[in-house]
Amino acid sequence: MTAHVRLPRTLPVDDTAHRAFLADVVAGLSADPKTIPPKYFYDERGSQLFEAITRTPEYYPTRTETSILTARAAEIAAFIPQDAVLVEFGAGALTKVRILLDAAPVRAFVPVDISEAFLRGQAARLSREMPGLQVLPVVADFTASFPLPAEVATAPKVGFFPGSTIGNFEPHEATAFLRHAGALLGPGARLILGVDLVKDSDVLVAAYNDAAGVTAEFNLNLLRRINRELGANFDLSAFWHRAVYNREQHRIEMHLASKARQRVRVDGRCFDFRRGETIHTENSYKYTPDLFRTLASGAGWRVATTWTDPQKWFAVHALVRD
């Protein structure tokens, strides 16, 4: 059978996304404290490095969530309506979604990701593995408005948002995303979402400071991307990866810390760094089940079911739109 896959067009280098990247980097480096949105981690190399992070022994979220999805596959499949379309936000390597696609016959699968080259390859691979499945990849920033393919306009839709990516948003941003997802998926929408839970800080810090240095390379790759795409001159050896747990905010914070006083140019603009000054690159919020239910409720969703692992390190929530 011929694989059903529609690949996204190739965007020009000077497109809107490029200009937005430059604007966000300039604004972030001009701020105090300096910051860059974590969505820019995910060029092709960044996406590959993140998949490598998920295989490190310290990084428990991926294997824990995968174990929940595998153990509860039949229950999760029962939550997905007949003939539904599955839409994955921030699709990545499409590893976890295969568990759902094997368990629940769906009409079509729409992976959404900002990294075009990576998405193109993963969508083509999935189509070869599941030739009967219609795969309709969409290159987009899933935090912003984008259209779903016309082929799925009238079908019931279920969102899939694994990996506790919701934790990378500030709480008000998480609420905005959940509202946006509800509007995109439409009436009767459902959403399967992974959330990392509050736990011992030693476990959390180790997960973002793996001994092999993969997370450090992932963090530093952001500077490499800025150099390549925005004409910057960051010296990667002059920065180091730093991840700490902010107990009051219930979040891991990732930073790139300057090893010395230095000046960096980006697109002709100069930015000064003090020794020890950081670029705040990511937060990863951890939730209790009650905190997440409150967040979801404020965005128009109701938690219908929650599945966790025996240690209660991670939760998979099944949400229905109120």
How far is the first Cα of the chain from the last one, in angstroms, to the nearest whole number? 40
Give the contacts of 149 (CB within 8 A, at least 6 positions apart). Answer: 6, 108, 110, 136, 138
Query: Are 239 and 256 within 8 A, CB to CB?
Result: yes
Of 48, 43, 13, the closest CA to residue 116 belongs to: 43
Q: What is the per-residue pLDDT for 12? A: 41
Q: What is the per-residue pLDDT for 5? A: 38
DSSP string, 201-253: HHHHHHHTS-TT-HHHHHHHHHHHHHHHHH-----GGGEEEEEEEETTTTEEE
Q: What is the per-residue pLDDT for 4? A: 37
* DSSP helix/strand/coil, 191: strand
DSSP string, 289-310: HHHHHHHHHHTTEEEEEEEE-T
pLDDT digits (tens, 9 = 90+) for 116-160: 888 989 999 999 999 999 999 999 989 888 999 999 999 999 999
Token digits of residue 86: 């599955």
φ, ψ dihedrals at 23, nearest 5° = -60, -40
Angstrom distance (rounded) from CA 284 to CA 252: 5
Angstrom distance (rounded) from CA 7 to CA 139: 9
pLDDT digits (tens, 9 = 90+) for 252-298: 999 999 999 999 999 999 999 999 999 999 999 999 999 999 999 99
Inter-helix orientation angle 44-53/116-129, to 10°: 60
Token digits of residue 90: 């921030």
φ, ψ dihedrals at 181, nearest 5° = -65, -40
Q: What is the per-residue pLDDT for 213? A: 98
Q: What is the per-residue pLDDT for 17? A: 84
Angstrom distance (rounded) from CA 93 to CA 125: 10
Angstrom distance (rounded) from CA 180 to CA 280: 26
φ, ψ dihedrals at 272, nearest 5° = -95, 145
Which residues does the chain have with pLDDT short of 50?
A: 1-14
This prediction's pTM: 0.87
Q: What is the per-residue pLDDT for 15? A: 79
Q: What is the per-residue pLDDT for 180? A: 96
Angstrom distance (rounded) from CA 80 to CA 63: 23
Which helix (H) or strand (E) segment holds residue 71: the answer is: helix 60-71
Q: What is the per-residue pLDDT for 6? A: 35
Angstrom distance (rounded) from CA 17 to CA 65: 31
